[in-house]
């Protein structure tokens, strides 16, 4: 596996990208990995490497690139700085970077996110039709907009790709009942999706190294994720031309 830090400019601000490419890969499907609240730190980098180990190009954009060090050092300030319009632009910039990456086939593109990134995965499933599959790991706040504009929950009718979700029964953000409400709305709209709820698991159940880690939920959720991506990215023919946003 080859890992590197790359950079693009978004709205006059340099944005770092953590890129993981399988050894010897040539035009394989790619997956955008969206950070948890800690940014593109150890956990997000680990998950991006997991993606590459499974045979995909993985890329994780740093969604905090507009922030000052003071804002990034404070959880509340980081949270209040988020804007959906900025997030959409940042993810689209990562997709544009992949278009120039010879190892990535952007006609077979997925997205996966964790914590705040799970919410972003839901958002991007509606915001950019290039994605063929989206996976949400315990994404809280889907019923609230970041800045102006509709919340992800208000855009579910626009979702254009299959969606998979993984949620802890004991989580407070998002509460399991909220995600069952979203599940029912997706069913009503006829949107292909599959949601999984894990007993005795709270938030960040697959992040190792803390008391909330649940190895049984991690061991169940990640193979389900890979099977989902295999079905929608690997086991499909490349499109002749990638969709544009």
Across 223-235, average pLDDT? 97
CA distance 215 to 223: 13
**pLDDT for position 237:** 80
Q: Is 244 inside a domain boundary?
A: no
Number of domains within the chain: 1
Query: Given pLDDT bands bounded at 50, 70 and 90, which one contains residue 245?
Result: very low
DSSP H/E element including 224: helix 215-229
Q: What is the CATH number of the domain that holds 77?
A: 3.40.50.1820
Is 107 part of a structural domain of the chain?
yes
- Domain presence at residue 245: no
In a domain, 243, yes or no: no
CA distance 192 to 158: 12
* 73 domain residue, yes or no: yes
Say yes or no to pLDDT of 243 above 90. Answer: no
Residue 23, pLDDT score: 87
* Parent domain of 113: 2-234
pTM of structure: 0.95
Segment 44-78, tens digit of pLDDT: 999 999 999 999 999 999 999 999 999 999 999 99
Q: Does pLDDT of 244 surpass 50?
A: no
64 belongs to a structural domain: yes
Q: Looking up tokens 């400019």, which residue turns up?
A: 9
Q: Which residues contact 95 (CB under 8 A, 6 or more apart)?
A: 32, 106, 109, 128, 130, 245
pLDDT digits (tens, 9 = 90+) for 115-172: 999 999 999 999 999 999 999 999 999 999 999 989 999 999 999 999 999 999 999 9
pLDDT score at 24: 80
Residue 241 forms part of a structural domain: no
Q: Kindly indicate the confidence band of residue 26, based on its pLDDT and cuts at 50, 70 and 90.
A: confident
């Amino acid at each position: 596996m080859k890992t590197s830090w790359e950079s693009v400019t978004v709205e006059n601000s340099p944005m770092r990208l953590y890129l993981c490419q399988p050894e010897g890969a040539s035009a394989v499907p790619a997956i955008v990995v969206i950070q948890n609240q800690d940014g593109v730190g150890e956990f997000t980098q680990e998950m991006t490497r997991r993606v590459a180990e499974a045979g995909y190009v993985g890329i994780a954009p740093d969604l905090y690139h507009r922030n000052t060090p003071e804002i990034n050092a404070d959880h509340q300030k980081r949270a209040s700085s988020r804007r959906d319009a900025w997030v959409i632009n940042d993810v689209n910039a990562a997709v544009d970077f992949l278009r120039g990456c010879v190892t990535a086939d952007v006609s077979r593109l997925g997205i996966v996110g964790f914590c705040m990134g799970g919410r972003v995965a839901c958002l991007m499933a509606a915001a950019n039709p290039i994605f063929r599959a989206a996976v949400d790991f315990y994404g809280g706040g889907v019923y609230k907009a970041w800045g102006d504009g509709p919340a992800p929950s208000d855009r579910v009718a626009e979702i254009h790709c299959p969606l998979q979700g993984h949620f802890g029964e004991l989580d407070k953000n998002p509460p399991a009942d909220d995600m069952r409400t979203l599940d029912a709305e997706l069913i009503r709209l006829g949107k292909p999706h599959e949601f999984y709820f894990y007993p005795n698991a709270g938030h960040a159940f697959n992040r190792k190294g803390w008391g909330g880690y649940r190895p049984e939920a991690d061991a169940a959720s990640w193979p389900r994720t890979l099977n989902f991506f295999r079905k929608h990215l690997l086991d499909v023919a490349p499109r002749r031309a990638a969709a544009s946003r």
